[in-house]
Amino acid sequence: MRSKWIRKALLVLLCGVLFTGCSSASTKETEQRSSLKIMYADEAYFFMQYGDLFAMQYPDIDIEVITTNSIYSEDPQDYNKAFADFIEEKQPDVVMLSLDNYEKFAAEGKLLELDTLIERDKYDIGSIYPALIEILKKKGDGKLYGLAPSFYGNALFYNADLFAKYGVEVPHDGMTWQEIIDTARRFPTDGDEKTRIYGFGSDYGMSMEELASAIANTQGLKDINTDTMKITLNTDSWKQVYKLAKDAIDSGTIYNPKDGGFQGGTLEDYYQSQVFLMGRSAMTTGRSHLLSNIKNAKNTLKDYNPFQVGIVAGPADPAEPDKSRDININELSAIRANSPNVDAAWEFLKFVNGEPFAKIKSKSLNNGLLSRMGYSKEYDGVSLDAFYKLQPNLDGASSLDNDKIPQSFYSQYRPIVDRELKLVEEKKKSIEEALQTIEQEGQAVLDKAVKDEAPKKNDE
């Protein structure tokens, strides 16, 4: 009887030892693992872009993707408020933001400053495109709250074969719109709209207003002063912009199809409507993915005639030809200020903005250009250096100023602009007369919209 009792006691003791051992091992494994909540638009796309690669490098960090699809499906009246409320409710560790939201959240103290972490880990940001760091620090009031693995920038593309054929000097870095249009005028304007050569042509063509908007954006002109809430179109600068655009359109050197360009159809129909891509335009402005489109057209169309592509930095503001207002960040990652998982979140930011990640992503232009310099050097034999040459021009209005303009304003303002510019194109009004009318009628609409919006802001 006694031996039986002893065996039972030993069995209980052994089980206790095994249980304790297993419990310790389990606790140790749990302590080594960490979790991370990341806010992103779509879970599948997140893992395709970032998550799968990160999980391979950091198998001990569990990722939970909090998708923002519900914000869009609910169609809120104020998307910015719904976005902020979503973050407050879900409490993600890492937030993926647009540049506008980044600036807003940094100003409100909702993001974690990264400078201390960068210094602690000696994390290299020296090989990140300096223009991006400058933009992010400017939007963060001198501090760095986020990082962006890629960016978008415009450049001037040209068809070197057409320039050689017509004996025109090829474009150079820092060309202004005046120089671009003057160069475009040196190409022939005769022939059928569907087959002729154009000096300049964008994907879908350019109306007078679209060309004027592009020129104004390059020069940093604003149609509304958000400090005074006054429309500022009736000025010498705007008059010169519209005159340049109108003269260019009237000259016939700018691709501006009467039918509005591509309206739908097959992939081949789409390619045929792209005048630069098909070798029928000497110049165009565009982002790096234009090179992908050209490559796809070569591989898709049987009768495609390839041509030599050149890219230069620009268009540029004549006042500052070494700078650009068209360097944009589509998506950047930041850490929520009160995140309980700062270390894991910082590992994610370091990885997706680091050199190994850039090396893997260097073969594609789907998400723009890599912020890590030295990896996006060329695509399909065409150098990408032009996209890294200009520095950002950060003067003028902050993106937060857009919030000052009531949402109801543009739906009433747009018809006034369209009506007046149509009268200019029909030669029924001068540019000066049209801009004066737009400013007068538009100001009345803006004043009313601001007045109607005031009670709502007071309630908030």
Residue pLDDT, tens place only, 430-446:
999 999 999 999 999 99
What local confidence, expressed as pLDDT, does residue 100 receive? 86
CA atoms of 390 and 131, how far apart (whole Å): 8
* Whether the Cβ atoms of residue 36 and residue 344 lie closer than 8 Å to each other: yes
What local confidence, expressed as pLDDT, does residue 232 receive? 93
The low-confidence residues of the chain, meaning pLDDT below 50, are: 1-31, 397
What are the residues whose beta carbons fall under 8 Å from the beta carbon of 420, sequence distance 6 or more? 429, 434, 435, 437, 438
Chain centroid to CA 266 = 28
For 396, half-sphere exposure in the C-beta direction (CA atoms, 13 angstrom radius) is 17
Q: Give ranges for CATH 3.40.190.10 in the chain.
A: 34-153+327-392
Helix axes 208-219, 236-251, angle to 10 degrees: 140
- Amino acid type, 90: K
What local confidence, expressed as pLDDT, does residue 20 receive? 36
**Coil, strand or helix at 10:** helix
CA atoms of 183 and 188, how far apart (whole Å): 11
Homologous superfamily of 34-153+327-392 in CATH? Answer: Periplasmic binding protein-like II (3.40.190.10)
Q: Residues for the chain: how many in total?
A: 460
CA atoms of 87 and 94, how far apart (whole Å): 10
CA atoms of 315 and 312, how far apart (whole Å): 9
What local confidence, expressed as pLDDT, does residue 74 receive? 62
CA atoms of 208 and 245, how far apart (whole Å): 6
CA atoms of 402 and 333, how far apart (whole Å): 22
Please choose, from the candidates 51, 50, 96, the residue with its C-alpha nearest in 3D space to the C-alpha of residue 71. 96
Please choose, from the candidates 345, 326, 330, 325, the residue with its C-alpha nearest in 3D space to the C-alpha of residue 101. 330
Q: What is the pTM of this model?
A: 0.86
CA atoms of 323 and 318, how far apart (whole Å): 10
Q: What Å distances lie between residue 48 and 45, 364, 371, 427, CA to CA? A: 5, 13, 19, 53
What local confidence, expressed as pLDDT, does residue 14 receive? 33
What local confidence, expressed as pLDDT, does residue 308 receive? 97
Please choose, from the candidates 363, 369, 380, the residue with its C-alpha nearest in 3D space to the C-alpha of residue 297. 380
